[in-house]
């Protein structure tokens, strides 16, 4: 392998594949170079911008020969926005790349031979994103809202985004035009000044209604917030409700602790597996309801075909979406979630859907697991794990193993932490039956996976 000090500043390379973070991977005399904004098969002239002991990062100076999988992006802002990293790659090939990302993670981290199935595509590749979070800033003449350029805090003022419903663009434009009229300034991140920090929209694919949350750099409601909320609610069609979230901290976290609904309802309704769910401002719910429905139906069909009259544990349950969707193919579902608001919302959903066999627990998962082990080991036929991107702790996996008789169904949005956790489970004697990837975020490097683990 070539020493990093001998690596030329500029060189011509061929892109071999994509990394799990969407970088193109090229090699020069065996030395790995990560390249931005490229497709496998591209031949490019690059400039090295950062070197480490084992790899380097580079940018493209010139596209010498394009990959056969390149297509024209359908969004004119694709290069500057940074939200849709793979939009210039043919969609069917994107699916292959995502399967490769999962397979590479499993091979390099887990080290086991596991069946990786073809990625199930998103039913919609545009207008699929039903949660929008736009940071806001201000110029001398206007309010700006959009996404940051990749790796920067330079805001791209987006008037039209084809991956979200068009009426979301209309809502954001209305807020741009009316915020300053109501005396509301845009946020200045450097000086921590200005009022409007983010615009957050949750919108329903069921009935196209939207919940609008204005994230403000203030500690309490003010007359100008009330005025803008009323204008949004009364002058825009299909607004379910308008709220204010208070966030005065110098933080990258979008939402603060307190949300106050000023007009209408504090939720929208969404449907999964023919169940109607209430989704609030801070509710965890997949941003692509079309792929989410595919995932839930897939898991439901698998359980129905492989386990009769089963008792299910829905861990890290959020609003108990999995448990509620699985209720009619299970004898009983036990759900555990530590966020009080999510459990309260789940209780409403359970009652409104007239479900009788779902039991809700508002507890820290580890505490709940410990108490369950004292009462009954192997008390559940199937455990569904749907952790955040960081995956599960080994302790949580141990609890799941001790509580479960037959199978663990692990739903993951991060191939690396999935592979790490599967490696641990295999070391405890488990067998991974297969991994089924789903495309939750078309035109990005992100991929959702369902792994079925036999105990």
Maximum distance among all Cα pairs of the chain, rounded to whole angstroms:
68
- Contact (CB, 8 A) for 298 and 325: no
| Token duo for residue 176 | 């741009």
Which of these is catalytic: 110, 325, 413, 430? Answer: 413
Packing angle, helices 415-427 and 91-105, rounded to 10: 40
Report the 10 Å Cβ neighbour count for 360. 22
Q: If you count them, how many residues does the chain have?
A: 455
Half-sphere exposure of residue 372: CA atoms within 13 angstroms, side-chain side: 24
| Token duo for residue 382 | 């199937």
- Contact (CB, 8 A) for 20 and 105: yes
Say how far apart CA 401 and CA 425 lie, in whole Å: 8
Beta bridge partners of 167: none
Helix or strand run (H / E) with residue 374: helix 365-375
Burial letters 181-216, b for 16+ CB under 10 A, else e: ebebbbbeeeeeebbbbbbbbbbbbeeebbbbbbbb
Question: Which backbone phi and psi does 106 adopt, to 5 degrees?
Answer: -65, -45
The answer to whether residue 392 is catalytic is: no
Collapse the DSSP code of 115 into the 3-class scheme (helix H, G, I; strand E, B; otherwise coil) and give the result: coil
Say how far apart CA 41 and CA 15 lie, in whole Å: 5
Half-sphere exposure of residue 67: CA atoms within 13 angstroms, side-chain side: 24
Task: Name which of 84, 102, 170 is nearest 441 in CA terms.
Answer: 84
Angle at 49 between CA 45 and CA 55, to 5 degrees: 90
Active site residues: 413
């Amino acid at each position: 392998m070539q020493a990093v000090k001998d690596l030329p500043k500029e060189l011509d390379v061929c892109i071999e594949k994509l990394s799990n973070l969407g970088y193109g991977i090229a090699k020069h005399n065996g030395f790995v170079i990560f390249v931005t904004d490229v497709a496998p098969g591209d031949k490019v002239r690059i400039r090295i911008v950062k070197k480490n002991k084992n790899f380097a990062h580079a940018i493209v100076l010139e596209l010498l020969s394009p990959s056969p999988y390149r297509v024209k992006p359908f969004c004119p802002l694709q290069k500057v926005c940074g939200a849709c990293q793979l939009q210039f790659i043919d969609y069917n090939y994107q699916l292959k790349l995502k399967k490769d990302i999962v397979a590479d993670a499993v091979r390099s981290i887990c080290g086991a031979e596991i069946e990786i199935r073809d990625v199930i595509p998103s039913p919609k590749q545009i207008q699929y994103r039903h949660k929008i979070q736009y940071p806001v800033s201000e110029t001398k003449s206007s309010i700006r809202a959009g996404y940051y350029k990749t790796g920067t805090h330079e805001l791209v003022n987006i008037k039209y985004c084809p991956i979200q419903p068009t009426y979301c663009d209309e809502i954001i434009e209305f807020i741009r035009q009316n915020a300053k009229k109501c005396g509301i300034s845009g946020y200045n991140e450097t000086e921590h000044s200005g009022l409007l920090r983010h615009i957050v929209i949750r919108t329903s694919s069921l009935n196209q209604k939207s919940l609008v949350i204005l994230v403000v750099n203030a500690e309490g409601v003010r007359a100008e917030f009330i005025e803008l909320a009323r204008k949004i609610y009364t002058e825009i069609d299909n607004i379910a409700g308008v709220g204010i979230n208070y966030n005065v901290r110098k933080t990258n976290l979008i939402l603060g602790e307190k949300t106050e609904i000023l007009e209408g309802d504090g939720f929208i309704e969404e449907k999964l597996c023919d169940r109607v769910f209430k989704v609030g401002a801070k509710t965890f719910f997949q941003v692509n309801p079309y792929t989410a429905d595919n995932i839930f139906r897939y898991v439901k069909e698998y359980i129905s075909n492989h386990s009769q009259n089963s008792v299910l544990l829905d861990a890290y349950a959020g609003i108990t979406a999995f448990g509620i969707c699985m209720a009619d193919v299970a004898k009983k579902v036990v759900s555990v979630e530590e966020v009080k608001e999510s459990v309260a919302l789940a209780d409403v959903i359970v009652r409104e859907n007239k479900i009788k066999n779902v039991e809700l627990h508002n507890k820290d998962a580890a505490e709940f697991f410990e108490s369950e082990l004292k009462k009954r080991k192997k008390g559940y036929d199937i455990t569904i794990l749907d952790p955040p991107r960081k995956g599960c702790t080994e302790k949580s996996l141990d609890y799941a193993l001790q509580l479960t008789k037959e199978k663990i169904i692990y739903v993951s949005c991060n191939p690396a932490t999935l592979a790490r956790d599967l490696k641990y489970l295999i070391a405890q004697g488990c067998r991974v039956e297969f991994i089924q990837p789903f495309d939750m975020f078309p035109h990005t490097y992100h991929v959702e996976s369902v792994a079925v683990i036999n105990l």
